[in-house]
């Protein structure tokens, strides 16, 4: 949607979800308790942020809450420059995603991913069934 659209996007709330000793930044646009299943947008990475998929927030104007977040190591989340390549595993990012969903008390959101890796992480999440 363009800025000239007559549809207004609901207010957004930003926060941090504790993840072990780190923090995952998130933003929820719209109402998580609304009538439609929330959408969680997974950016590519590691190394990317939510910025390039930010326009998905406009979907909140349809009554569906939209959740953006930055994976640890990126964006507004805790940066970990001292961690080596062996630290950044799919299991880490799956656990972070599960933790965020638990923090937001959002059961089984729809996952929208911007990369094959993000899609794989969402589909392989072991502790819940995401709608991909």
Q: Which of 24, 27, 50, 29 is nearest to 114 (CA)?
A: 50
pLDDT tens-digit readout, 22-40: 999 999 999 999 999 999 9
Helix residue ranges, H only, the chain? 90-103, 116-123
Assign domain 12-123 to its CATH architecture. Answer: 3-Layer(aba) Sandwich (3.40)
- CA-wise closest residue to 129 among 113, 107, 104: 107
Give pLDDT tens digits for 87-101: 988 889 889 998 999
| pLDDT confidence band for 1 (50 / 70 / 90) | very low
Tens-digit pLDDT profile for residues 65-83: 999 999 999 999 999 999 9
Share of the chain above pLDDT 70, in %: 80
**Residue 65 CB coordination number (10 Å):** 25
Q: Provide the residue ranges of all domains of the chain, joining segments of one domain with +.
A: 12-123
Q: What is the pTM of this model?
A: 0.84
């Amino acid at each position: 949607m363009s800025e000239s659209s007559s549809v207004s996007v609901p207010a957004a709330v930003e926060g941090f979800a504790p993840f072990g000793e780190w923090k995952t930044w998130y933003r929820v646009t719209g109402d998580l308790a609304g009538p439609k299943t929330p959408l969680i947008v997974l950016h590519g990475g590691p190394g990317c942020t939510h910025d390039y998929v930010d326009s998905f927030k406009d979907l909140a104007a349809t009554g569906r809450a939209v959740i953006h977040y930055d994976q640890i190591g990126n964006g507004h989340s805790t940066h970990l420059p001292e961690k080596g390549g062996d630290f950044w595993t799919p299991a880490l990012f799956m656990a972070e995603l599960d933790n965020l969903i638990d923090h937001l008390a959002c059961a089984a959101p729809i996952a929208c991913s911007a990369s094959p890796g993000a899609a794989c992480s969402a589909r392989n999440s072991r502790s819940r069934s995401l709608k991909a």
